[in-house]
Amino acid sequence: MAINTVTHINFRGNARKALSFYQGVFGGKIDIISHAQAYGTTNPDEVDLVGWGQVVSEDGFAVMAHDVPFGMAWNAGEIPYFVSVRGQDAVEISAYWVRLSQEATIIQPLEASAWAKLYGKLKDRFGVTWVLDVPAWPA
């Protein structure tokens, strides 16, 4: 089985512009799911924010992004990124989750989401935020 680590950058309202910029720089395909699609957000100020997005190029470049909702505290220097581990095998990703979650704070349990077969987020015992997922489509 193969897994990838991908930088997952958190923004406040400009993730879409950042992803478009990165696509212009590196090429590849851009995928974006809005807050409305991912979370059922109905606040007109947040429905079009990026709930999850990525750019993946044919050369192997990959980056993911998210707009932190306005109701959540956010500081560009505090949790500006996640370490994302993704793979196609749910059993393998689940096993990493079990080991990584020891003494961790679970932010989002590992389960199906609007954009992934499995998705979970935790802060490990060292304060690093991790996202583990099995994407809904081939990465």
Tokens of 70: 């306005």
Quick one: pLDDT at residue 2?
A: 80
Strand pairing partners for 120?
A: 132
Quick one: pLDDT at residue 138?
A: 59
pLDDT digits (tens, 9 = 90+) for 118-127: 999 999 887 8
What percentage of the chain reaches a pLDDT higher than 70? 98
Q: Please tell me whether residue 97 adopts helix, strand or coil conformation.
A: helix
The answer to whether 6 and 84 have CB atoms below 8 angstroms apart is yes
The answer to whether 125 and 104 have CB atoms below 8 angstroms apart is yes
pLDDT digits (tens, 9 = 90+) for 65-98: 999 998 888 887 777 778 888 888 999 999 999 9
Quick one: pLDDT at residue 68?
A: 92
Where do the DSSP E strands lie in 3-68? 3-11, 29-34, 50-56, 62-67
pLDDT digits (tens, 9 = 90+) for 15-71: 999 999 899 988 999 999 999 998 898 999 999 999 999 999 898 889 999 999 988
The yes-or-no verdict on residue 11 having pLDDT over 60 is yes
Domains of the chain: 3-135 (3.10.180.10)
Average pLDDT of the chain? 89
The answer to whether 101 and 114 have CB atoms below 8 angstroms apart is no
Residues written for the chain: 139
